[in-house]
Amino acid sequence: MARLIQLTILFIQFYYYYYITTTAHGLSSNGTTFLLDSSRSAMILPLFLSPPNPCTKFSSTRRLLQRSNGNNALPNARMRLHDDLLINGYYTTRLWIGTPPQRFALIVDTGSSVTYVPCSSCEQCGRHQDPKFQPDLSSTYQSVKCNIDCNCDDEKQQCVYERQYAEMSTSSGVLGEDIISFGNLSALAPQRAVFGCENMETGDLYSQHADGIMGLGRGDLSIVDHLVDKGVINDSFSLCYGGMGIGGGAMVLGGISPPSNMVFSQSDPVRRCFRDGNSPYYNIDLKEIHVAGKPLPLNPTVFDGKHGTILDSGTTYAYLPEAAFVSFKDAIMKELHSLKPIRGPDPNYNDICFSGAGSDISQLSSSFPAVEMVFGNGQKLLLSPENYLFRHSKVHGAYCLGIFQNGKDPTTLLGGIVVRNTLVLYDRENSKIGFWKTNCSELWERLHVDGAPPPAPSSSNGNNSNTEMPPSMAPGDQKHYGLPDEKKIGKITFEMMLNVNYSDLKLHISELAESIAQELGINISQVYILNSMEKGNASYIEWAVVPSGSADCISNVTALSIIARVAEYHMHLPDTFGSYHLINWEIKASAKRTWWQQHFLLVVLASAVTFIFGLLAFGIWFIWRHRQRALNPYKPVDAVVTEQELQPL
């Protein structure tokens, strides 16, 4: 009888747990964010007689696992971030999945709890940066069979997932397991992990250039949770976004030693779970906001409404509750004495913008006030103007507020703009989040990381041009991106396939050349077509990039930037040209020139100078000769001349 009662209680617990943990939670963000992800699906059947607590996994169990491993004994995965927050709307990193590895550009999103990429079987997926994942080509891929810990397909054969976001885009597919690699900067070896293989995507997910999402939120499908559960990394990760106009950045999966002056805020997932059910989001304990040293006249509870204050890397801007936004806006405008209010770049939005600040980002603090966020422990995070402003796209030297009202939603949502040039440490083990103002393009050097890669060059358009290789070529196979020994680069050639009909492409070939030149950051006169032809329904083109103007070679920095953008698929071509597939590229050294070729200009110049001086000398002689003849005219011998009086001796 007692056994029957126990089984009945277990069944009731499972029934309650299933429906509670499959409830979706959403945040209103005026349609601009990429945050929302449904909460974690029911995956664990409780085997103990106690009230169901969906946060248990995030509290006691995970803590015990981490303390048994020690704090810094485990490796971490250092990875580069690409793209730009305001230009692209997100930052991406590179993951390689399968054997041999297939590369993907994934949006890093702390508001999502699952990592997914388009599957080769997906007929309702958009055109993205990289080819779809092909499970059949991976010798290590396994589908996740239907079991009690997952949601299953209609045939009860495979585990499936489904996610819906605030802007109403969706992703759904099957769950698979394969080896995931983290790039050539990672000290963490490739690991088996579960990920989503998309069969359908809609909305922004369909149209975005990035391939998919790397879910860093809390949840059983989170890649961070997988690695922590396996005991291969500490329960921590870090993100560092590049500053205004720079783009790129860095991330770390696993623990790092925090800088001594890092500012911390408590982040308590248990409190949010008890109140709203299981949540994958990271909250901070925000109490006050100061503008120009003066606190806003607000009750601290304004930042604790609904989901509290959420820090989300997949959201572009920041969104405050109505009362907080009005107070913040008024306080900022009171401090702007020398700037002129102007209309925003998009007439569809009532952006708050100002002109007259100049284009030098380092001088913005002389025109805009400092802002501080004060946490419950009394520590303050200083925000520079780049952490709450974005550039006006149509007026030079003008800027707009990147902090908006979150509709009628009382949630405070802090997107990536707030943490530009800030190292954010998500210390999940100790339930706190750290902030450290720094130059994210020089993060490794500033953290004094051994074996740190050199700082990557940043392009003016915000596209990250770092070279990064798949794990199969790591750690030291640089010949793929190697320069000629003599380091005199005369030409770069690359072949590509475009998924557009050749007859249509021929009409717009000059536009394509202009787009490629713009994406590579070079002059249109440097780009030439060597060969083009039809390949079925696609088009084949071979391009050449040559030195600019009178230069006899391409600089190493420019060459590496061009190669990285082409090989890493950073070129964002107009939709009319479809997506491209790189076939091959090659660096060609400058041909060794003869003495005559090397000194041709000097010889021509010397000859010209000699000719000019010779002509000038001849002119002077001719004039002198003419004058001499005028002074001593020629007289015939029989001509009559005036008699001259002889002078006495």
Q: Enumerate the active-site residues.
A: 109, 312
From residue 503, alpha-carbon distances to 471, 539, 577, 645 in Å are: 39, 9, 12, 103
From residue 72, alpha-carbon distances to 37, 67, 224, 428 in Å are: 31, 11, 16, 14
Per DSSP, the residues of 393-428 read: SSSTTEEEE-EEE-TT---EEE-GGGGBTEEEEEET
Take residue 202 and report the two structure tokens written for it.
């809609």
Q: What residues contact 607, with CB distance under 8 A and at least 6 apart?
A: none
Bridge partners, 80 (sequence order): 250
Helix (H, G, I), strand (E, B) or coil at 525: helix
CA angle in degrees (0–180, nearest 5) for 38-110-567 = 115
Per DSSP, the residues of 85-117 read: HHHHSS-EEEEEETTTTEEEEEEEETT----EE
Q: How many other β-carbons are positioned within 10 Å of the β-carbon of residue 194? A: 22
Q: What residues contact 152, with CB distance under 8 A and at least 6 apart?
A: 146, 158, 159, 160
Residues 58 and 76: their CA atoms lie apart, in Å, by 20
Bridge partners, 544 (sequence order): 493, 528
Q: Report how far Cα 634 is from the mean position of its chain's Cα atoms.
A: 91
Q: What residues contact 286, with CB distance under 8 A and at least 6 apart?
A: 265, 303, 309, 373, 374, 375, 376, 412
The type of residue at 189 is A
Bridge partners, 200 (sequence order): 124, 172
Helix (H, G, I), strand (E, B) or coil at 354: strand
| Among the listed residues 146, 120, 148, 123, the one whose alpha carbon sits nearest the alpha carbon of residue 135 | 120
**How deeply is 473 buried, as exposed, middle or buried, from its count of CB atoms within 10 A (0-12, 13-18, 19+)?**
middle
Per DSSP, the residues of 5-32 read: HHHHHHHHHHHHHHHHHT-------TT-
Tell me the residue length of the chain.
649
Residues 169 and 186: their CA atoms lie apart, in Å, by 32
| Among the listed residues 342, 305, 345, 339, the one whose alpha carbon sits nearest the alpha carbon of residue 321 | 305
| Among the listed residues 455, 416, 381, the one whose alpha carbon sits nearest the alpha carbon of residue 244 | 416
Query: What's the DSSP call for residue 623?
Result: H
Measured in degrees and rounded to the nearest 5, phi and psi for residue 607 equal: -65, -40
Residues 176 and 543: their CA atoms lie apart, in Å, by 39
Residues 195 and 222: their CA atoms lie apart, in Å, by 9
| Among the listed residues 403, 360, 426, 314, the one whose alpha carbon sits nearest the alpha carbon of residue 85 | 314
CB of 388 closer than 8 Å to CB of 371: yes
